[in-house]
Amino acid sequence: MQNYSSTDMLAKLVGFDTTTRESNIPLIEFVESYLDFHGVKHIRVDYEKDRKTNLYATIGPDVEGGIVLSGHTDVVPVDGQKWASDPFTLTERGGKLFGRGTCDMKGFIAVALALVPTFKTMALKTPIHFAFSCDEEVGCKGVRPLVAHMRDHLKRPRAVFVGEPTNMKVVNGHKSAVTFSTEVRGHEAHSSLTHQGVNAIMVAADVISEISALRQEFIAVGDPSGRFDPPYSTIHVGVISGGTAKNIIPRNCDFQWETRLLPNADFEFVPKRMKALAEKLEPAMKAVAPDVGITTTKTNEVPGLRPEDQSVAEHMALHAAQANSTHAVSYCTEAGLFQSIGIPSIICGPGNIEQAHKPDEYVEVAELQACEAYMLRLAKACL
């Protein structure tokens, strides 16, 4: 319990099944016991009481201006995937450490925890904080109570460093992710009497055609920064359902869709377009039956990470990673939420995002070693 190498700590963390449908409390209890042994102060900020929680820990003085090492404890499922070894038992093969979450993103957390004894020996003038969250994989939902608690009750840190897998490259920008649910309420009738019904599926097709048109507009506008892949905002429909039989005009059609916008894009542009379309289509629908309509609801929103050139987070990360340039990614992280409360944030962590969520997920031992050196350089900035 006293000291672990990064690999040994990763083996412990991977051994906890923290698939998002499961509780992360057993993992958090292990981390708390470890921190208690080393005399590190910590608190929980619950997302779901007695089931899902966030852990915030502080090494060093209780003052403003610390740094936050942030990572999520949950992982995606392994259902239906063919693994060469037990996904919840760390297995080393050829310099690679296989297991669910090794890359995304228990490797980063393992390095941070393994360095606790070293951090404790340093004469820190500003603190090193850990922010270990839950339910990131389902829309960055679990960390939100922790972000609010940091904003309202804790000493303000100067920077947050999120350890999502970037091959230890410094990432200062990512797209947002906003999800929507659209419900089309039609009016049933016999399929031979189409004029007496409102076909919810066909109305939904009109709405989806507008989404397709928006997709082409985003492609045409492109990415002025030239940093993102794909080089434009994206929009797509992921799930659709409706109808009961081929000879009944369908009463309902529902579909779920999302946007992933460039970080400086107007969040209200797409909802306004969809509202305008609904107002255009609904009069003809209501002329047949009054209880019909189109309702679109925003179901989740993860803000993008806006590049902040020369921010303290970017400056520190570039120095610690011994890098000369920054990068952008299309996936989203918790970094945008920390930035939204005014804390400069950056992403840099071990592993390649292409390995995340796949069978035989892995992180290279060399990446963990590079992350150790990176964190030690960050820590020296707190002396």
Please return the burial class of 263, using the count of CB atoms within 10 Å of its CB with bins 0-12, 13-18 and 19+.
buried
Q: For residues 369 and 184, is the Cβ–Cβ distance under 8 A?
A: no
- DSSP strands (E only) in the chain: 41-48, 52-59, 67-72, 91-93, 96-98, 128-133, 159-162, 170-174, 177-185, 234-242, 252-260, 293-302, 326-329, 345-347, 362-364
Q: For residues 320 and 378, is the Cβ–Cβ distance under 8 A?
A: yes
State the greatest distance between any 2 C-alpha atoms of the chain, in Å, as a whole number.
81
Please identify which of the residues 74, 258, 361, 367 carries the catalytic annotation.
Answer: 74
For 299, phi then psi, to 5°, come to: -100, -25
Please identify which of the residues 17, 136, 334, 367 carries the catalytic annotation.
Answer: 136
DSSP, collapsed to helix, strand or coil, labels residue 235 as: strand
Question: Is 136 annotated as catalytic?
Answer: yes
DSSP, collapsed to helix, strand or coil, labels residue 295 as: strand
Angle between helices 365-380 and 6-14 (to 10 degrees): 110
Residue with tokens 């490797």: 107
> Which residues form the catalytic set?
74, 136
